[in-house]
Amino acid sequence: MVRVPLFKLAHARSGDKGDTANIGLIAYKPEYYPLLVEHVTAERVKEHFRGICHGDVERYELPNLGALNFVLHHALGGGGTISLRTDAQGKTLSTALLRMVIEIDEETARRLGLE
């Protein structure tokens, strides 16, 4: 297996609606999108954000944009003006998601030039 950090495969943008954050995860190349769909599941993202996101995580697919949208509930310390966090609006949760490392098989890695 080959370990690949998400920041090599995708870029992202995050924002807030109250205490809910969303993270758009966008594949750099169309051929990376299936990897995101397979490996970056809602469960995996909830686990990744343990200690930050205290609610459910929903995932939506946008194959037309080669992108996934994650909605993280109770993820901003109360949100908006209530939150005491530096990043009360969740602007940096995008790059926090890009810290995730996924494991892909060697043949796929070779085919996609990700070795």
Partner 1 sequence: MIRIANGQGFWGDWREAPIRQVEGGPIDYLTLDYLAEVTMSIMQKQKRRDPRLGYAKDFVPLMERLLPQCVDRQIRVISNAGGVNPSACAEAVIDVARKLDLRGVKIGIVAGDDILDRLDALIDAGHELRDLDTGRPLSAIREHVQSANVYFGAAPIVEALRQGAQIVITGRCTDTGLTLAPMIFEFGWKDDEWDKLAAGTVAGHIVECGAQCTGGNCQADWQSIPDLANIGFPIVEAEEDGSFIITKHEGTGGRVSPATIKEQLLYEIGDPRQYITPECIADFTTIQLEEVGENRVRVFGVKGRPATPFYKVSISYFAGYKAVGTMVYSWPDAYAKAREADRIVRQRLADLGLEFDEILTEFLAVNACHGPLAPDPPSDIAEVQLRIGVRSTDWAAVDRFTREIAPLILTGPPTATGFAGGRPRVEEIIAYWPALLPKSEAEPSIEIVES
CB of 37 to partner 1, least distance (A): 14
Taking the complex as a whole, the smallest distance from the CB of residue 66 to partner 1 amounts, in Å, to 8
- Asked if residue 93 lies in contact with residue 2, where contact means CB atoms within 8 angstroms, the answer is no
CA distance linking residue 61 with residue 38, whole number of Å: 11
Pick the closer one to partner 1 by CB: 1 or 28.
28
Phi/psi of residue 69, nearest 5 degrees: -120, 125
Give the Cβ contact number of residue 26 at 10 Å.
19
Nearer of residues 45 and 104 to partner 1, judged by Cβ: 45
Separation of alpha carbons 42 and 39, rounded Å: 9
Residue 40: name the closest of 87, 78, 4, 86 by CA.
4
Which residue lies nearer to partner 1 by CB, 78 or 106?
A: 78
Pick 28 or 106: Cβ nearer partner 1? 28
- Smallest distance, Å, CB 105 to partner 1? 26
Q: Where do contacts with partner 1 occur on this chain (CB under 8 A)?
A: 11-13, 15-20, 22, 24, 26, 28, 48-52, 58, 60-67, 69, 71, 77-82, 84-87, 91-92, 94-96, 99
